[in-house]
Structure 1
Amino acid sequence: MVRVPSLPLPGYPQVRVALPSRRVAAAIADHRADLVHLAGPFVLGVRGMAAATRLHLPAVAVYQTDLAGYARTYMGTGEGTAWRRLRAVHGAADRTLAPSTAALRDLEDHGVARVRLWPRGVDTERFRPDLRDDALRRTLAPGGEVLVGYVGRLAPEKHVELLAPVAALPGVRLVVVGDGPSAPALRTALPGAHFLGRRTGDDLARIFASLDVFAHTGPYETFCQTVQEAMAGGVPVIAPAAGGPLDLVDHGRTGLLVPPHDAGALRAAVALLAAAPALRREYGRAARAAVEGRTWTAVGDQLLDHYAEVLRDRTAVAA
């Protein structure tokens, strides 16, 4: 583990951006690496890519964040600049790994070559349905309301405010888990919702399993890990029909997909499941079954296969 300096992201101090450092190249060389794995190569990863090129090492770059979408949300401009930066870094890599088919298409449409699919795993031992906690449910919904939850960052690009009509549904209690710069505004926009702050580990798994419906609102997800964790907890999911959730939610079987940015459609989907406990149970069982094979061990093995293929291709070219 080599630590490098970082600065808080303007407007979002909970996220820190690593600064370019000469320590990166030195660490790779000292480690006598055979391959360089670039996780989110936008700032620090650029140094990693440069070091790999200088040391004649193959590099695998992982695409994790819709930076163009972030530029659009936070600055109202800069999408073109973001994509030029992404093309430059990913174009230098031997392989780019995209977490979903939507992200893969997006990269290819913007001129990034050598892209392959590599999804994310989920801890199916930690996140599981039998953690459903009746005492917690009584605390959050003392009147026996249907518990609808959102888990994730509270930031502008997540558009959590779309849950306002859901929070107003009779017989529904909204639970919001997470923190971020939008938290104060969302407390005003979602009166009556329970804000539980940031939760992790077994505590988070217990909350997931205790929900009746998981509702996600972000339209810029390259994967959307919280959707997968909710499914592992046996909870039906409602999510935008965009990005990563398209690979995760089987509409009409494990949950429902709704048009992005459509608060009315989100409300209607929640109302449908809130009124149908048998359907919720059916979707929840199917959701759990759908992710049982997506363990981190299985996904890690896929990553090792990508490494082996890249190394083999480099050896073949050298020969």
Structure 2
Amino acid sequence: MRVLLVSPGGPGRLGGVEYVVYSLARALAGVGHRVVVLAGEPGVGGLRVLDLGGVEVHLWPVWSPGGAYHIPRRLGELRRYVARLAAEADVVHVHSVHAVFSVEAGVAAGEAGAPVVLSPHYHGGGHTPLREALWTVWRRRVAGLAGAVGAVVAASRPEAERWEEDFGVGAVVVPHGVGDDVFLYRWRGASSDYAVYAGRLERYKRVDKAYEVAAALGLRLLVVGDGPHLRALRRRLRGALFLPPQPRERYLDLLSGARYAINMSAREVYSIFVAEALAMGVPALLSREVAEIYMPGASGEVNEVTRAEVRPWSQVVPEVLAVYRGIEKP
């Protein structure tokens, strides 16, 4: 099958959506499918094409103020380019309705007659007052795309329910996978003196709350990540240890050695970091919004989750392919 994946950002961008797109791309390519990724990239002046281990990545210039929005430059040219790529694909899979680039590419693919699958990565609106205000207008554009796609894939039941309530379009639930390397690690932090949060540092992630939870247990919080809220967190959380994104093996080693993984985010579609922790056997302390992804019915302010069904990407791919085959070109 020939698959075109649309991503808000390139492979060098540290974000959950990008992690999902490139993990899925590699997994699809690994079982013989031809995969092309079209991605927004603020660091290029024009189109760039590169090879990512057998996956062809096309980088299109975008404007991403504050690491958000991902507004495509030369929109008319982008639409024509998407139509050309879509004509060579059996299915187009668009990721993230929070990115202008992805939505516009999805609309262009649909107008070109391509079968389109949409993974909204939908949080329910914007993450700041400005972004929330912009969503009142942007929602109409997203609704147009939602009504035109062949299938919608949500990463969790809570995301599917939010999506269906706001847009009136049903969604198939296919939880994200984790890397095979995660299953090589087992929890060894029963006597550890630290807890860990890993991911993008945005205000809505409530890392300060994670710090309070860790401190109440006599644990130091290790924060692994980067993002626009980093400077403010460094000033406020003097007792936390901040590390930039780590090499993969180092990150997994730190995670397996933690007493707890903590994610107190106010909005989440599916936390890869938490899934990786649970796959190792690391217990997780989670906000209600995060816990209900893995433990339906969670209602506490802080919920301890010790197990959940977490699968490698190789087991997720057949479900994604089943969605593709339901709408692919005849």
Structure 1 and Structure 2 fold alike (TM over 0.5): yes
What RMSD over aligned residues (CA atoms) do the two structures have, in Å? 2.9
Cα displacement string for residues 126-176 of structure 1 (whole angstroms, at most 9, x for unaligned residues): 3543474x8xx9xxxxxx763111111111121211134235436321111
Contact 2:116 2:149 in 1 (8 A): yes
Contact kept in structure 2, 1:61 and 1:96, CA below 8 Å: yes
Matched, 1:58 2:105: no
| Closer, same or farther: CA 170–215 of 1 in aligned 2, 3 Å | closer
Contact 1:167 1:190 in 2 (8 A): no
Taking the TM superposition and a 5 Å limit, the aligned residue runs for 1:1-319 are 1-9=57-65, 11-12=66-67, 17-19=71-73, 20=75, 21=78, 22-29=80-87, 32-41=88-97, 42-66=99-123, 68-72=125-129, 74-75=130-131, 77-130=133-186, 132=188, 146-169=193-216, 171-242=218-289, 245-249=291-295, 258-259=300-301, 266=302, 284=306, 287=307, 290-291=308-309, 294-311=311-328
- What displacement does 1:69 show? 3.6
Quick one: which amino acid aligns to residue 114 of structure 2? L
User: 1:243-279 CA deviation, whole Å, 9 max, x = no partner?
Assistant: x54132478xxxx8633xxxxxx4xx6xxx8xxxxxx
The residue type equivalent to 1:148 in the other structure is A
Q: Look up the equivalent residue of 2:113 and give its one-letter code.
A: H
Q: Which amino acid aligns with 1:258?
A: G
Distance 2:139 2:111 in 1: 24
Aligned-partner SS, 2:231: helix
- Write the distance in 2 (CA, Å) between the matches of 1:34 and 1:128: 35
Query: In the alignment, is the contact (CA less than 8 A) between 1:98 and 1:115 conserved in 2?
Result: yes
Larger Rg: 1
Question: Equivalents in 1 of 2:110, 2:244: separation in Å?
Answer: 43
The question of whether the paired residues in 1 share the 8 Å contact of 2:124 and 2:163 is answered with: no
1:8 is displaced (CA, Å) by 2.8
Q: Give 1:17 shift.
A: 4.9
Cα displacement (A) at 1:111 = 2.4
Question: Does structure 2 retain, via aligned residues, the 8 Å contact 1:239–1:258?
Answer: no
Aligned length in residues: 269
Equivalents in 1 of 2:132, 2:102: separation in Å?
25
Q: Confirm or deny: 8 A CA contact 2:192 2:259 kept in the other structure.
A: no
Q: Is the 8 A contact 1:36 1:48 kept in 2?
A: no
Aligned residue identity for 1:304:
L
For the residues of structure 2 that align with 1:90 and 1:310, how far apart are their CA atoms? 15
Alpha carbons of 1:234 and 1:18: their partners in 2 closer, same or farther (altered >3 Å)?
farther
Summarize the Cα distance change of 1:67–1:198 in structure 2 as closer, same or farther, 3 Å threshold: farther
Alpha-carbon distance between aligned partners in 2 of 1:222 and 1:114, rounded to the nearest angstrom: 16
TM-score, structure 1 length as denominator? 0.74
* Distance in 1 (alpha carbons) for counterparts of 2:177 and 2:150: 23
Task: Tell me the amino acid that sits aligned with residue 34 of structure 1.
Answer: D
What is the identity percentage for the equivalent residue pairs of Structure 1 and Structure 2?
Answer: 26
CA distance in 2, matches of 1:52, 1:194: 45
- The whole-number CA distance in structure 1 between the counterparts of 2:280 and 2:141 is 38
Tell me by how many angstroms 1:195 deviates. Answer: 0.8
Aligned position for 2:13: none
Shift of 1:5: 0.7
Segments of 5+ residues of structure 2 without an aligned counterpart are 1-56
TM-score calculated relative to the size of structure 2: 0.72
Alpha-carbon shift at residue 232 of structure 1 (Å): 1.6
Report the Cα distance in structure 1 between the residues aligned to 2:296 and 2:106, rounded to whole angstroms. Answer: 37
